[in-house]
Structure 1
Amino acid sequence: MKKNLFAAAAVVAFLGSAVAANAQTIGHVGANYSRAEVDTVLGDVDGDVFQAEGAVRFDAGSLGASINGTVTDYEGGDTSFGATGHLNTKVGDGLIGGFAGVETSDDLTIWGVGVDGQFNLAPNTTVYGQAGYGNTDDIGDTDFWAVRGELRHYLSDNFKLQGSAGFLKADTDLGDADGWNVGAEAEYQFSGTPFSVVVGYDHFDSNDLQLDSDTFRIGGRYTFGGSIKDRDQSGAALGSVAKLFGAGLIR
């Protein structure tokens, strides 16, 4: 556990150092707790999940770039590390680009690449979508194909409501399986401070695997460089490999 906490602190320190290095950066660091309830054909499994996470957006020449990272500690001692990098260009008041990343633990490593983009449907409503391909050699030779979308509405610059939905297909040496997930999230930043509270819920269901799960999440964030709305629309809130291929089980 001590090793995991040091790793989490390193993620926070890295992202925080970008603030001092470049005044144009914007992003956040945070931590959250989740309770996962998984129902399988073999029985039910419940577990606690602790996570340190962060993201930073910066200029890369004429392009926009962002990096998000996570350190996730699961009940029972397993720990996963995730990082996803994005490059994109502005299109009107939105952006479009691509990403590549990895989610890895002692037992499983998933690599992923894809495309994503976000656009404003209205002054206070934004849609974000990502689609990608992933692979792991740890479950035979498994290929993943996934799409995911988020609809974000800002009641104010520092109060966001968000809904998400996704579909995942896995092609393995042992057969194929697919599943879908939906989620909801709210984030509120306290007036006059950079601190916010986040609550969320995700549901995943797969008939092929005879598995479904419910994950409840609460956490806190420190946002730098602007408001929640500024942070999101700059490209500092783009999806990760874990979100795309984790199907709501990992964030």
Structure 2
Amino acid sequence: MKIALLATVAAATLIAAPAFAQDAVGSAGIAYVHTDTEGFKTDGANLNGVGAFKVAPEWTVTVNGDVNYADSDFGDDTAASAAAHLTKTFGADLRAGGFVAVSDIGDENTFTVGAEVQKYLASATLTGLVAYTDAELGDVWTFGGDAAYYVNPSLRLNAGVSYNNVDTDLGDVDAWAYGVGAEYQFANSPFSVYGSAQRATLDIANVDVDSDTFMIGARYNFGGTLQSLDRAGANLGRTLASVPRLPLFGF
């Protein structure tokens, strides 16, 4: 039931979001993804979509989803996730609220709840979050932060970091994820190109495991510039502060 619901929500977000452009703002994108975990490499693709709907003058509902395909010498795998956010603006420069998310990776399902806040400055957006994930392997707590700087409303540079603690039957696993990204929206066009690089470092029984992920892709944006979409809540769940998928653990 959960997998079917997840697939339905993710597909609806990815495929139908542009059709609601008159009533919402957001984007739909596709990217190439390369991951290297201690020499174990995968290549794949990512489909992603997000839509933000204002349900009251100060309240916004944001839904986002993505589907990931990865291929390696040992076979291929497909993972999907979807999330819903409810946030409230406080004045013109602060947004806060909560979110729920589900994901399906292989034979494992996870459920996440969290709180998030965004502070809007003249040329920047600061994001922070705390989240709890219920995974089959164990409980996960995540604390993350992201800073995005807008060179202009159509060019964003950002950097983010998150700390994750995984409580397993074999003991705690600590993981840090940090990275940088950039996105440029072409002048007088809804299309943009983006890229990011992220490293996740896991401490497993005093052994460090590093995983590097590189992504490059393109998006169709509806409802404004990159900065205006950000301030409308259409970037929630997609910043580098978001709950990452930790390699080797399936979330």
Gaps of 5+ in 2: 1-8
Partner of 2:3: none
- Following superposition, the deviation at residue 60 of structure 1 comes to 2.2
The answer to whether 1:111 aligns with 2:115 is: no
CA contact (8 A) 2:129 2:242 kept: no
CA contact (8 A) 1:34 1:49 kept: yes
Aligned equivalents of 1:162, 1:100: Cα separation in 2: 24
Partner of 1:73: 69
Aligned equivalents of 2:130, 2:10: Cα separation in 1: 28
**Offset from partner CA, 1:86-105 (integer Å, 9 cap, x none):** 00100122200000011112
The answer to whether 1:218 aligns with 2:219 is: no
**Offset from partner CA, 1:21-80 (integer Å, 9 cap, x none):** xx34110000001110101xxxx2001020110100002235211000001111132111
Question: Identity of aligned pairs, percent?
Answer: 31
CA contact (8 A) 2:27 2:219 kept: yes
The one-letter amino acid paired with 2:77 is D
The answer to whether 1:13 aligns with 2:15 is: yes
Q: CA distance change for structure 1 residues 162 and 240 in 2, over 3 Å: closer, same or farther?
A: closer
Partner of 2:243: 244
SS in structure 2 at match of 1:212: strand
Aligned equivalents of 1:10, 1:60: Cα separation in 2: 19
- Following superposition, the deviation at residue 106 of structure 1 comes to 2.8
Between Structure 1 and Structure 2, how many residues are aligned? 235
Q: CA distance change for structure 1 residues 105 and 248 in 2, over 3 Å: closer, same or farther?
A: closer
* Superposition TM-score, scaled by structure 2 size: 0.87
Alignment of 1:79-158 (within 5 A): 79-92=78-91, 93-120=93-120, 122-137=121-136, 139=137, 142-158=138-154
SS in structure 1 at match of 2:200: strand
Q: CA distance change for structure 1 residues 112 and 65 in 2, over 3 Å: closer, same or farther?
A: same
CA contact (8 A) 2:141 2:165 kept: yes
RMSD: 2.4
Aligned equivalents of 1:240, 1:229: Cα separation in 2: 14
CA contact (8 A) 2:27 2:49 kept: yes
SS in structure 1 at match of 2:181: strand
Partner of 2:34: 35
Aligned equivalents of 2:147, 2:118: Cα separation in 1: 10
- Following superposition, the deviation at residue 10 of structure 1 comes to 5.3
Gaps of 5+ in 1: 1-6
SS in structure 2 at match of 1:238: coil
CA contact (8 A) 1:24 1:225 kept: no
SS in structure 2 at match of 1:205: strand
CA contact (8 A) 2:156 2:226 kept: yes
SS in structure 1 at match of 2:243: helix
The answer to whether 1:64 aligns with 2:66 is: no
* Superposition TM-score, scaled by structure 1 size: 0.87
